[in-house]
Amino acid sequence: MRHVFPVAILFFVVVASLFGGSCANIIPPQGGPRDSIPPELLSATPRDSTLNFRSDRITLTFNEYVDLQDVQNNLLFAPLFQNNPRVDVKGKTITIHFRDTLEPNTTYIFNFGNAIKDFNEGNVLKNYTYTFSTGPVLDSLELKGKVLLAQTGKTDSTLIVVLHKNLQDSAVMKQRPMYVTKVDASGNFRFHNLPQGTFAVYALSDAGTGRKYINKTQLFAFADSPVHTGAADTALTLYAYREVPVATPVAANPLARARAENRLIFTSDASAGQQDLNKDLLINFGTALKSFDSTKIALTTDSSFNPVTYTARLDSSAKVLTIHTPWKEATRYNLVLNKDFAVDSAGKKLLKTDTLTFLTKSQADYGNVSIRLRNIDLARNPVLLFVQNDQVMYSAPVKSGTFSKNSFVPGDYELRILYDINDNGKWDPGQFFGTKRQPELVKPIEQKITIKPNWDNEFER
């Protein structure tokens, strides 16, 4: 019997190891592919495109649990209600409850945009639209077009386009529009199921303005005349502008301490130690100057302090002093400011004579550029704009089909053409109230250019 026990133990150890190895190789069941299908509408009560609509609600039933996102911005009603309908979601059902009495013989459209999504995976049912008419027919006219930003020629998908039945100019400020639609990423817009009629057409930015034009810093565009939806050609192009620019945040300014200091404070672009050959030297003051004496300013070269002829001019704000001279390349300059050279409006001046030393750039730091421009309308006073980060770095009127300039600052540039109608050298916004004036237009040139230093850069655009 003493031999049976070890054999039995060995038998169970072998069996256990076999089962243990087998268990280790079992692969747990894997999940299926992720659901990427948006909800499917099973039924609508009353049905879509109902005529002689009389219900006080609409019920939409889907094949799965649904949810709503950002209904206020996604769901568009047309025409607009005085009191927006209440929209509820429960399980697989969305219910729209009307709070206003529906207008007779009117076609209504509900565009949900990206509002409807499934509950689990968030798959969006895009642009589901429900339409009905309180009369015997559905209106079927359309109005389409495009909105461009006049100052850049680009698009802005945050804009909306509105239609007003009231053709008075003041309506866009005081009344809600009758119809609203959104602008897509390409700047396009389209109204569906419109009645035959005449409308004033506007585009605007709507950040808490109630779809009205109430602030001159808003982006705004207007059609030159009312549009009749029964016309054969109802495609519009609107050009949006800001009549008053939006104020940009002011960065920390070293001149801000000027009032607290008991001395004259200034900054200069020469403080960085390098001067552009194509630009004047600027000296900026924190407070306006009461007086300055150019004889107490000396501009010299090198360590020998050889005098240089220059002109000094104070701007209309009395805060910017311009030093002009034909700079020599790769040359060290010294700007000596005597302590009595300037006195500001508070009677402050320098505590001691100050010297700014800087080096001008070399011609090899610049590139020559020649651009042959195609399809340019010379009769409309074109101005070529060189743009970096939406800032115009250089501009020049175009008098022929070719633009050429030597000693150009290298870099990557976006090109635009400003059609300067009033020939004042800058872009002018439009004006809606009073004497109407459309904004001046800017046409972007698609391909950017790269200007290389010490190189003859030639382009055809």
Question: Residue 115's domain is classified under what CATH number?
Answer: 2.60.40.1220
Assess whether pLDDT exceeds 70 at residue 401: yes
pLDDT at 110 over 50: yes
Predicted local distance difference test score (pLDDT) of residue 209: 84
Find all residues with CB under 8 Å of 161, minimum gap 6, and list them. 145, 147, 180, 181, 182, 183, 189, 191, 201, 202, 203, 238
Residues 397, 382 share a domain? yes
Last residue of a domain, one of 106, 133, 160: 133
pLDDT on residue 461: 84
Query: pLDDT higher for 23 or 77?
Result: 77
Residue 8 lies in a domain: no
Task: Tell me, yes or no, whether 376 lies in a domain.
Answer: yes
Domain count for the chain, please give it. 4
Residues 269, 336, single domain; the answer is yes
**Same domain, residue pair 283 and 341:** yes
Q: Which residue, 196, 213, 240, sits at the end of a domain? A: 240
Is 331 part of any domain? yes
Domain for residue 7, yes or no?
Answer: no
Q: What is the arithmetic mean of pLDDT over 169-192?
A: 94
CB 283 within 8 A of CB 321: yes
Please determine, for residue 131, whether its predicted confidence score (pLDDT) is greater than 90: yes
First to last CA, the chain: 103
Examine residue 50 and state whether it is found in any structural domain, yes or no.
yes
Query: Last residue of a domain, which of 240, 263, 290?
Result: 240
In this structure, what CATH number is given to the domain that contains residue 306? 2.60.40.3710
Mean pLDDT of 221-233: 88
CATH code for the domain in which residue 405 is found: 2.60.40.1120
Domain assignment present for residue 324? The answer is yes
| Full domain range(s) for residue 438 | 365-460
259 and 236: one domain?
no
Regarding whether 161 and 102 lie in a shared domain, the answer is no
8 pLDDT above the threshold of 80: no
Least confident of 132-141, 158-167, 300-309, 370-379: 300-309
Q: How far is CA 292 from CA 42, 63, 267, 314, 349, in A?
A: 82, 81, 16, 9, 10
Split at pLDDT 50, 70, 90, the class of 233 is low
Domain match, 328 and 356 both: yes
105 and 163 belong to one structural domain: no
pLDDT of residue 14: 44
264 and 343, same domain (yes or no): yes
Let me know whether 152 and 235 are in one domain.
yes
CA-CA-CA-CA dihedral for 220, 226, 227, 228, to nearest 10? 150
Average pLDDT, the chain: 88
* Percentages (nearest 5) of helix, strand, coil residues in the chain: 10, 40, 50
Residues 190 and 149 in one domain: yes
Ranking 174-178, 264-268, 365-369 by mean pLDDT, the lowest is 264-268
Helices (H), 141-287: 171-174
Domain presence at residue 20: no
**Among 246-250, 286-290, 362-366, 389-393, the least confident range:** 246-250
With a cut of 70, say whether residue 300 has pLDDT above it. Answer: yes
Beta strand extents in 183-319 (DSSP E only): 188-194, 198-205, 220-222, 227-228, 235-240, 266-268, 274-275, 281-285, 289-292, 297-301, 306-307, 311-314
Q: Is residue 231 domain-shared with residue 273, that is, in the same domain?
A: no
User: Are 147 and 128 contained in the same domain?
Assistant: no
The reply to whether 32 falls in a domain is no
Q: Domain with 220 in it: what CATH number?
A: 2.60.40.10
